[in-house]
Amino acid sequence: MNPLALISQLLEIVVALALAPLLTGWVNQWRAWLQNKSAPSLLQPYRMLHKLFNKDSVVAEHASPLFRVSPYIVFGCMTLACAIIPTLSTDLPLASAADAIALVGLFALARVFISLAAMDVGTAFGSLGARREMLIGFLAEPALLMVLFTAALISHSTSLTNIVETLGRRELAIFPSLAFAGVAFTMVSLAENARVPVDNPATHLELTMIHEALILEYSGRHLALLEWAASLKLFAYSCIGLALFVPWGVAEAQAPMALLLALPALVFKLGIGGILLAVLETLSAKMRIFRVPEFLCTAFLLAVIAMLVHILLGA
């Protein structure tokens, strides 16, 4: 195995684990500023994780082993997802073993386990959140696949590294297919990460919460792993968007100097993306849960239109 490829792979995992909570804190800070509120510290997510890891976990007596192991599986799935997305370099050993379809499968696997764990204890909120989570996943995953297939048609490969290399070498222009796919991906990422207008991560109101209902029964290190996994999921979706629509700055194989410049470029792009996400959440209103299927069906329709535009127009 190429030592540089191994270094790139390990660096991607370390950067994802380190920057994911920082991205969450960055979005929360800008969201508070835009709403004219006192913003929390940028390091608040790290402090929360440190506090939770130092607390004991309280587990219900009738909870099965599935409830205890699910946080580790969800965290592992999100870490692996971040590892196969080319954020710093396209020279990744894990990329050859997983493509865009496997990436969506990792998100689906994590969703299944966290939903089963939420229903395992038998509380009303857990079952409510699990049903809503599976509804969103049932509608969001096909739309995400269509977005990835649009990029795959352009690069003639479902490999994420090949997609990034192909799109990164194209001249700077607005392609209609990618424009439709970008809007669809934005809608899907908002739903998958429990952001406004689909969900509000800052509320615990039982009539509206989705993600928070899934983790109400967790505490201590289990809750810390799930919160960290949620940050990793936001980081992963942000990196997917950057890889598909802003692929410039990612180092190619056998380019050690480009790898040194890839990290500042990634931080800069994530910073701009976090600000845009905060602006979008500030300008949007929380929609009713019964309108979410219409929202995600629109995203699926836009993703299909993106594929058709590329097939018919080649653009």
d(CA 57, CA 109): 24
Instruction: Verify cis geometry, omega within 30 degrees of 0, for the bond prior to 40.
Output: no
- What pTM value is reported for the model? 0.95
The DSSP letter of residue 87 is S
pLDDT of 209 > 70? The answer is yes
* pLDDT class of 285 with cuts at 50, 70, 90: confident
The confidence band for 205, taking pLDDT boundaries of 50, 70 and 90, is low
pLDDT average, residue stretch 286-295: 90
- What is residue 207's predicted lDDT score, i.e. its pLDDT? 66
Which candidate, 133, 95, 136, 92, places its Cα nearest to that of 114? Answer: 133
DSSP H or E stretch at residue 220: helix 220-245
CA 290 to chain centre: 23
Q: How many CA atoms lie within 13 A of 231 on its CB side?
A: 24
Task: Give the Cα separation of 219 and 96 in Å (integer).
Answer: 37
Give the model confidence (pLDDT) of 73-96 as tens digits: 999 999 999 999 999 988 888 877
- Between 22 and 8, the more confident residue is 22
Instruction: In whole angstroms, give the CA distance from residue 251 to residue 90.
Output: 6
What confidence score (pLDDT) does residue 118 get? 93
**Of 115 and 92, which is predicted with more confidence?**
115
Average pLDDT, the chain: 91
Q: How many helices (H) and strands (E) does the chain have?
A: 11, 0
Nearest to 91 by CA among 220, 309, 262: 262
Indicate the SS3 state at residue 154: helix
